[in-house]
Amino acid sequence: MIKSEFLKLKNSTGFYLVSTYTLLELLVIPIYLFFRNDRVSMINVSLIIMLSFPILASILSIFVFEQESAANNFQEIITSKRTVEIWLSKLLVLDAFCFLLSSIVWLVVGTLQNDLKQGLILAITNWILIIFLNHFHILLSFFIKKGGNIIISIVETLFLVFASNKVLLGAYWCPVVLPVNFLLTINVFYIIMLFIWIVFCVIIIVLFSKRMKAI
């Protein structure tokens, strides 16, 4: 099942979008940080890159839904006895694939700058953020149309801008800013709370997928 979902993703527009974006990151960021070899610059660049994640996650979720909608309007999923497993496989494959988008560049930068620990922290933080955004925007796709999904991603980007200026420290009600708050304070509780939000999104997706099957 996971292999099947991977093949679907591999042949999708989302695959080429993420691959192209990752390639641009690898071409630009290591070169820029080579001339600004310090942790503050790494964090600042990471915060800037995070601003693109909401719209990318929104577009990816739209691609996933359009792909399934084109395949007999979700009938393959709805009529299957493994509806929940299919959705969980989709999420797992998408999250694993977005490791390229969010994390590879920071592992490369950390290695090149002999600061693998900081590179690993940035890689994990960026990956957790894109995982949450993937799950959240796929959840939104159950309820709202493409335009609404993209508008919400723009609002999320604004929240990230505010968070980078330390305006939303302690705002646990706003999960999208928690990784930024973690990088600014190194308070692990922000990451723990984001994991809770991710689990919450997964539970809602599972429940709604069961409801689709019941209908």
- 75 — pLDDT class (breaks 50, 70, 90): low
What is the per-residue pLDDT for 121?
94
Cα three-residue angle 58-10-143, rounded to 5 degrees: 30
Cβ distance 26 to 108 under 8 Å? yes
Tens of pLDDT along 39-60?
788 999 999 999 999 999 999 8
State the angle between helix axes of 2-10 and 83-102 in degrees (0 to 180), rounded to the nearest 10. Answer: 50
Cβ distance 160 to 180 under 8 Å? yes
Distances (CA, A) of 143 to 33, 64, 79, 99, 126: 41, 15, 20, 27, 26
Tens of pLDDT along 151-192?
999 999 999 999 999 999 989 999 999 999 999 999 999 999
Q: Give the Cα separation of 43 and 118 in Å (integer).
A: 9
